[in-house]
Amino acid sequence: MKRAYKYRFYPTPDQVELLAQTFGCVRFVYNSILRWRTDAYYERQEKIGYTQASARLTAQKKETEFAWLNDVSCVPLQQSLRHQQAAFKNFFEGRASYPAFKSKRHKQSAELTASAFKYRDGKLYMAKSKDPLDICWSRPLPCVPSTVTISKDAAGRYFVSCLCEFEPVSLPISPKMVGIDVGLKELFVTDTGFKTGNPRHTAKYAKRLALLQRRLSKKQKGSKNRVKARLKVARIHAKIADCRLDNLHKLSRKLINENQVVCVESLKVKNMIRNPILSKAIADAGWGELMRQLQYKGEWADRSVIAIDQFFPSSRRCSDCGFIMNKMPLNVRSWNCPECDTRHDRDVNAARNIKAAGLAVLAHGANVNP
């Protein structure tokens, strides 16, 4: 399997300048080719592929007006066209929206293949730079990376992501199986009644974030003070994202380590975020990221992660007798089954139903109907 190992690094002043040039060239090539392809279709109904886009880039680099494109490595420029082609493929196959133009104020990245970097003696060198990158090696690489992606986030931090081949190690077989029901009051609840709580990272920093955003709005556009204020806001957002990701990694790792089978509910988070009242809380919870982490960590550890049908009435169904309530408003947190008179905690009952449905899916290999 392939796995990306991400590290933070601190570039020298020369490397900062080189990276700024590289990011700018990558962004220019991506945007200019995207505009060219879009205009060609709307004006002449001409479809442009990767081959024509690559030829266009070669012609641009020969023009005197764009001679500065030759000051950086040609590999990240070519890779940006491959990424654009993949974006168009995802768009035409219905998996993503139309490719968007890249902004200089958002995350910047450049991908380097084997011909544009060197990894030797535990040091990583990028093309056009004699000095190795000052990387904080939090863990060793399993092998020489096949691809390296250098990025800079909106908060001004630099990261390098190394794509390596690795051999996953299966965890010992565990007799435990769990069903989880995600929520907002509790990030998730298990069928045994364990509740994780919800850190609500956005709410924790909301007051400070609002203050910095007000200060940013008052700064004059184009001024250095505005740049400083924008960085402060970006650092708060980065802090919130890092805290959320750290918590999700710990919870997902705990679930995968302790359970052989993890049963979850397949959710359409993008559709749920359209709710104008709960959208902020749903986005802050990170349900989609939690499910993604469970899937790939389960695959690495040889664990089973079962996603049941999203329309399965896990909250309305009695986990004891199977009776299904007609309605179950969100404000109802506990209820009595009219059939067997069992008292249920809404979330724990849903987690038990999800576990039962997931085990049925695992046994029969089919969706469970209500």
Catalytic residues: 181, 265, 347
Q: Do 53 and 41 meet the contact criterion of CB atoms below 8 Å apart?
A: no
- The answer to whether 125 touches 118, Cβ cutoff 8 Å, is yes
**Rounded Cα gap, residues 302 and 300, in angstroms:** 6
Distance CA 14, CA 12 (A): 5
Give yes or no for a contact between 314 and 350, defined as CB atoms under 8 angstroms apart.
yes
Coil, strand, or helix at residue 46? coil
d(CA 173, CA 231): 47
Question: Which amino acid type is present at position 94?
Answer: G
- Coil, helix or strand for 108? strand
Alpha carbons 56 and 33: distance in angstroms, whole number: 8
| Pair of tokens at residue 13 | 């002043």
Q: Of the candidates 352, 351, 334, which has an alpha carbon nearest to the alpha carbon of residue 343? A: 334
94 sits in the region (left: phi over 0; alpha: psi -120 to 50; else beta) called left
Q: Could you tell me the two tokens for 307?
A: 């996603």
Contact 174, 192 (CB under 8 A): no
Please state, in angstroms and rounded to a whole number, the distance separating the CA atoms of residues 181 and 256.
16
Those residues whose C-beta lies under 8 Å from the C-beta of residue 56, and which sit 6 or more positions away, are 33, 36
Query: What distance in Å separates the CA atoms of residue 352 and residue 179, rounded to the nearest whole number?
Result: 6
Report how far residue 230's alpha carbon sits from residue 224's, in angstroms, rounded to the nearest whole number. Answer: 10
